[in-house]
Amino acid sequence: MIRRSSRLDGVNYEIKGPVYERALALEKEGHSIIRLHIGNPAPFGFDTPEPIRKAIIENLSSAQGYSESKGIIEAREAIREYYLEKGIPSVHFENIFVGNGVSDLILMSLQALLEPGDEVLIPTPDYPLWTSAVRLYGGQPVHYRCDEEAGWFPDPADIRRQITARTKAIVVINPNNPTGAVYGRELLEEIVQIAREHRLVIFSDEIYDKILYDGVTHIPAAALAPDVVCVTMSGLTKNYRAAGFRAGWLVVSGAVKEAASYLEGLSLLSNMRVCSNVIAQQAIKTALEGYQCIDDLVLPAGRLRRQRELAVSMIRETPGLSCVTPKGAFYLFARMDAERFDFRNDTEFVISLLTEEKVLVVQGTGFNYPTPDHFRVVFLPAEDELTEGLNRIRSFLRRHTRAHAPVLTSQKGRLFTGKQRTRLF
């Protein structure tokens, strides 16, 4: 028998895991699934802005050959100008790498850095590719906890407690996926100070940096870290609703002299991949320098803002559910009262919900959250479909409420105290 590599042990991606595969099987059987599980804007009517599509079409003939491995000059210059305007000092053209989306660059950035046993600090809950990529390249993910009762902000003291002699880097996801938290200046300065003291690389995942609500402002971590090696990542996928075009970028800034060897590693891996999607690269300058229509979507009357309000309201009106209002991105991380419902854990909940109501969400433990009492909802579907999906969740939970169920009480988000996560696959 040909077996998979042992390097994949412990590598998971539950957003497209076994529950997702079950949803695909149900669709093949003729069932219609309400998809509240993935941040893919296009299927929900969020089209890529026309100027971006037009730029790709007009430059199609010039995209037939390989580009420079790091990316075409025009795109990288536009990225450089964008971050200089955002307050990141000393962004050098040669330290910008364009890739096939941020996912591609997460893999490359960790592969170029990690030795077996190196530790990387990652938030919990997290975007699970970070945890899996660290494991894939021989590292050890160490999770620092984000506190639900503090608006899903991490505690710098907890981060410090996780640091050992093997700690190599810290991951910051801001705005956060799956919670929608947006970190303020004071918190970011504390995280940067920790990295400074312990000579850690900062990986700042900022793919949602324009999807902001309620007047909050996004501050790049690198803008506060001129003397720390900072790797900032973003792209066209979310802000510009261009997920399928696969265009992302990575910028190394700060103490780049200390990162000379690391940059050589990134260049080597970039050269081995030949180049990223040249067609999509042609649109980066147009996207960054053109009209930012995402701003309209997050205004009080904008579609994303309205759908956020709808999702938060319906979750909170459902007995046994609660959530923190997300300040960025297009997700909310809902909490279930463990004692109220008859599920053993969050995985059993999402499987049963899919089977009975044909609604697909992702369990909280799929985001490396330690207690199985949360699930992520994507509020991209139009209001009618979103309402239908959340109504089905409400009806489903009503049927699965235990007799004499207790009222939800808050204990720092630990509502499944004493219960262990169970693998159902």
pLDDT digits (tens, 9 = 90+) for 32-65: 999 999 999 999 999 999 999 999 999 888 888 9
User: Token digits for 374?
Assistant: 């949360």
Q: Give tens-digit pLDDT for 116-162.
A: 999 999 999 999 999 999 999 999 999 999 999 999 999 999 999 99
| Dihedral sign, Cα of residue 265, residue 268, residue 271, residue 272 | negative
Beta bridge partners of 116: none
Burial class (CB in 10 A: 0-12, 13-18, 19+), 117: exposed
In this predicted structure, the answer to whether residue 422 has a pLDDT above a threshold of 50 is no
**For 403-415, how does the pLDDT look when each residue is reduced to its tens digit (9 = 90+)?**
765 554 443 333 3
CA angle 267, 272, 277 (to 5 degrees): 90
Chain position carrying tokens 């009618």? 384
Q: Specify the length of the chain in residues.
A: 425
- Burial of residue 197 (CB within 10 Å: 0-12, 13-18, 19+) is exposed
Determine the pLDDT at residue 63. 86
What pLDDT sits at residue 407? 55
Rounded to an integer, what distance in angstroms lies between the CA atom of residue 127 and that of residue 121?
A: 13
Q: Which residues pair with 328 in a beta bridge?
A: 212
Q: What 3-state DSSP class applies to 79?
A: helix
Phi and psi angles of residue 125, each rounded to the nearest 5 degrees, phi first: -70, 160
pLDDT band for 89, please (50, 70, 90 cuts): confident
pLDDT single digits (tens) 14-35: 999 999 999 999 999 999 999 9
> How many angstroms separate the CA atoms of 425 and 421, rounded?
12
Mean pLDDT of the chain: 92
| Beta strand segments in 115-253, E | 119-124, 140-147, 153-154, 167-173, 201-205, 230-235, 248-253
Bridge partner list, 147: 153
Spatial separation of the C-alpha atoms in residues 77 and 224, rounded to whole Å: 22
Q: Which pLDDT value is given to residue 10?
A: 87
The pLDDT score that the predictor gives to residue 404 is: 61
pLDDT digits (tens, 9 = 90+) for 233-284: 999 999 999 999 999 999 999 999 999 999 999 999 999 999 999 999 999 9
Rounded mean pLDDT, 224-241: 96
232 pLDDT exceeds 70?
yes
The mean per-residue pLDDT over the stretch 397-422 comes to: 54
What is the per-residue pLDDT for 406? 56
Give the model confidence (pLDDT) of 292-336 as tens digits: 999 999 999 999 999 999 999 999 999 999 999 999 999 999 999
Q: What is the reported pLDDT for 402? A: 86
List, in order of start, the domains of the chain with CATH numbers.
Answer: 6-46+296-399 (3.90.1150.10), 50-289 (3.40.640.10)
Q: Alpha-carbon distance 42 to 51, whole Å? A: 16
CA-based nearest residue to 368, from 187, 141, 140: 141
Q: Which of 214, 194, 193 is closest to 298 using CA atoms?
A: 214
End-to-end CA distance of the chain: 21
> Residue 216 above 90 pLDDT?
yes
